[in-house]
Amino acid sequence: MSEEKQKTPFFDLADRYINLANELAQKEGTADAGTALRYAAARYNTFEASLSTKDLSGDHEKMIDMLCDDFREMLKVNMKDYIQRIAANN
Protein backbone atom coordinates (compact mmCIF):
# COMPACT_ATOMS: atom_id res chain seq x y z
CA MET A 1 0.00 0.00 0.00
CA SER A 2 1.34 3.44 -0.89
CA GLU A 3 2.31 5.92 1.81
CA GLU A 4 -0.41 8.29 0.57
CA LYS A 5 -3.15 5.66 0.94
CA GLN A 6 -1.90 4.74 4.41
CA LYS A 7 -2.16 8.38 5.51
CA THR A 8 -5.62 9.01 4.04
CA PRO A 9 -7.62 8.16 7.21
CA PHE A 10 -5.27 10.37 9.25
CA PHE A 11 -5.74 13.34 6.92
CA ASP A 12 -9.49 12.74 6.67
CA LEU A 13 -9.73 12.83 10.46
CA ALA A 14 -7.60 15.98 10.61
CA ASP A 15 -9.84 17.60 8.01
CA ARG A 16 -12.88 16.89 10.18
CA TYR A 17 -11.26 18.80 13.06
CA ILE A 18 -10.31 21.63 10.70
CA ASN A 19 -13.86 21.82 9.36
CA LEU A 20 -15.21 22.06 12.91
CA ALA A 21 -12.65 24.76 13.76
CA ASN A 22 -13.65 26.72 10.65
CA GLU A 23 -17.31 26.43 11.62
CA LEU A 24 -16.55 27.64 15.15
CA ALA A 25 -14.36 30.46 13.80
CA GLN A 26 -17.33 31.85 11.89
CA LYS A 27 -19.23 32.20 15.17
CA GLU A 28 -16.46 32.89 17.68
CA GLY A 29 -13.61 34.32 15.62
CA THR A 30 -10.44 32.73 14.31
CA ALA A 31 -8.29 33.57 17.35
CA ASP A 32 -10.73 32.05 19.85
CA ALA A 33 -11.33 28.99 17.68
CA GLY A 34 -7.57 28.44 17.27
CA THR A 35 -6.86 28.89 20.97
CA ALA A 36 -9.69 26.53 21.89
CA LEU A 37 -8.41 23.94 19.42
CA ARG A 38 -4.90 24.09 20.88
CA TYR A 39 -6.30 23.82 24.42
CA ALA A 40 -8.47 20.86 23.43
CA ALA A 41 -5.46 19.21 21.78
CA ALA A 42 -3.42 19.72 24.96
CA ARG A 43 -6.16 18.13 27.07
CA TYR A 44 -6.63 15.20 24.73
CA ASN A 45 -2.88 14.68 24.30
CA THR A 46 -2.54 14.57 28.09
CA PHE A 47 -5.17 11.82 28.17
CA GLU A 48 -3.43 10.02 25.30
CA ALA A 49 -0.08 10.26 27.12
CA SER A 50 -1.63 8.86 30.29
CA LEU A 51 -2.58 5.71 28.37
CA SER A 52 0.91 5.20 26.99
CA THR A 53 2.83 5.15 30.27
CA LYS A 54 2.41 3.63 33.69
CA ASP A 55 4.19 6.59 35.29
CA LEU A 56 2.85 9.83 33.83
CA SER A 57 4.18 11.74 36.81
CA GLY A 58 7.69 10.49 36.14
CA ASP A 59 7.44 10.54 32.35
CA HIS A 60 5.51 13.77 31.83
CA GLU A 61 8.49 15.91 30.78
CA LYS A 62 9.55 13.30 28.23
CA MET A 63 5.96 13.11 26.96
CA ILE A 64 5.70 16.91 26.73
CA ASP A 65 8.96 17.07 24.77
CA MET A 66 7.77 14.31 22.41
CA LEU A 67 4.40 15.98 21.80
CA CYS A 68 5.94 19.45 21.36
CA ASP A 69 8.51 18.08 18.89
CA ASP A 70 5.73 16.34 16.98
CA PHE A 71 3.60 19.51 16.89
CA ARG A 72 6.55 21.69 15.90
CA GLU A 73 7.34 19.42 12.95
CA MET A 74 3.70 19.37 11.78
CA LEU A 75 3.52 23.16 12.16
CA LYS A 76 6.71 23.64 10.11
CA VAL A 77 5.40 21.42 7.31
CA ASN A 78 2.03 23.17 7.22
CA MET A 79 3.53 26.68 7.38
CA LYS A 80 5.88 25.87 4.51
CA ASP A 81 3.02 24.41 2.47
CA TYR A 82 0.79 27.42 3.19
CA ILE A 83 3.54 29.90 2.26
CA GLN A 84 4.23 28.03 -1.00
CA ARG A 85 0.53 28.02 -1.91
CA ILE A 86 0.28 31.77 -1.22
CA ALA A 87 3.38 32.43 -3.33
CA ALA A 88 1.87 30.36 -6.14
CA ASN A 89 -1.23 32.57 -6.10
CA ASN A 90 0.72 35.86 -6.31
Tens of pLDDT, residue by residue over 58-67, are 999 999 999 9
Q: Specify whether the CB–CB gap between 66 and 46 falls below 8 A.
A: no
Q: Judge whether 40 and 24 are in contact, CB under 8 Å.
A: no
The answer to whether 49 touches 67, Cβ cutoff 8 Å, is yes
Give me the tens of pLDDT residue by residue for the chain, a chain 90 residues long: 445 555 689 999 999 999 999 999 999 999 999 999 999 999 999 999 999 999 999 999 999 999 999 999 999 999 999 999 987 887
